[in-house]
Amino acid sequence: MSRNLVLGGLLSSLVALAALVSFVWTPFDYAAIDIPNKLKTPTGEHWLGTDHFGRDMMSMLMVGARTSLAVALVAVGIGMGLGVPLGLTAAARKGSWLDEVIMRGNDLVFAFPSLVIAILITAVFGAGAVNAIIAIGIFNIPVFARITRGAALSLWEREFILAARVAGKSSARISAEHILPNVMNLLIVQGTIQFSLGILAEAGLSYVGLGAQPPTPSWGRMLADAQTMVSFAPHLALIPGFAIILTVLGLNLMGDGLRDWLDPRLRVART
């Protein structure tokens, strides 16, 4: 295992742990407003200080991690759940009209600037975590469809697929039983990358007020709220900012590490 994978995995699991722990315990109630104690810098009681409403930053950060991870996870789920079958179908029917429809549809979605469309979707259908998930999820579909099709196409040329075909298996069964397991490593790597992009997208949407709505904490909104207070309470912006950086960095490192680890060609080259 590479250093990237260890470091990335460590950072990512730290965030995941914070999110999980927040379900059962946070230092304070994340929504408890305590105006007299507002804008406290980190102390023994409030580890990361308090925000402009006197809410505990540590608790908000933990619950915010939950929001970020949940949105990104479901969005990647949507992308994989729809994109992978589409990609497999397109590869199995290479050159057919179905392949054309799927792939040109993908191109169409790809052609739109994703964050702008995500803003459009949430602006039309209302701001909120669910719409943010859908908006981010839609743009994950072509990513997975394309990567699956590309990898599957080369597999379809291989002898073991031919053998399966001769054995009388339908192309759907071949896709599920032989192609999918062989593209899984690629999907896992891509999934990690998309996951980190999803977290960034969620933060971006929340920053412009279209993500999770208050009082549900979200890193992007914490940043937005801190904007006018940077000059006298920089920790309000630095803390969620670092959280986003570390999470995205961790996931990207993990993605890199996983690719090195899972890719058979690289593995051979190393030994």
121 versus 164: smaller Cβ distance to other proteins: 121
| Least distance (Å) between residue 227 CB and other proteins | 5
Q: Which two tokens stand for residue 103?
A: 């792939």
Which residue(s) pair with 5 in the sheet?
Answer: none
| Least distance (Å) between residue 136 CB and other proteins | 19
| Least distance (Å) between residue 235 CB and other proteins | 15
Site for other proteins in 144-203 (CB under 8 A): none
Question: Any contact of residue 241 with other proteins (CB under 8 A)?
Answer: no
Give residues with Cβ within 8 angstroms of 152, minimum separation 6.
87, 88, 91, 92, 175, 179, 183
- The answer to whether 55 and 30 have CB atoms below 8 angstroms apart is yes
| Least distance (Å) between residue 33 CB and other proteins | 4
Q: Which of 24, 157, 159, 232 binds other proteins (CB under 8 A)?
A: 232
Q: How many whole angstroms separate alpha carbon 82 and alpha carbon 86?
A: 6
Question: Any contact of residue 229 with other proteins (CB under 8 A)?
Answer: yes
**Peptide bond before residue 215 is cis, with ω within 30 degrees of 0:** yes
60 versus 84: smaller Cβ distance to other proteins: 60
Q: How many whole angstroms separate alpha carbon 109 and alpha carbon 102?
A: 11
- The gap between the terminal CA atoms of the chain, to the nearest Å, is 13
80 versus 129: smaller Cβ distance to other proteins: 129
- The answer to whether 225 and 166 have CB atoms below 8 angstroms apart is no
Site for other proteins in 196-225 (CB under 8 A): 209, 213-215
| Least distance (Å) between residue 186 CB and other proteins | 40
| Least distance (Å) between residue 128 CB and other proteins | 9
| Least distance (Å) between residue 138 CB and other proteins | 23
| Least distance (Å) between residue 30 CB and other proteins | 11
Q: How many whole angstroms separate alpha carbon 23 and alpha carbon 70?
A: 12
Q: Which of 43, 96, 170, 227 binds other proteins (CB under 8 A)?
A: 227
What character string, x for contact with other proteins (CB under 8 A) and - otherwise, covers 104-143? ----------------------xx----------------
32 versus 120: smaller Cβ distance to other proteins: 32
What character string, x for contact with other proteins (CB under 8 A) and - otherwise, covers 24-63? -------xxx-xx-x-------------xxx---------
Binding site for other proteins (CB under 8 A): 31-33, 35-36, 38, 52-54, 126-127, 209, 213-215, 227-229, 231-232
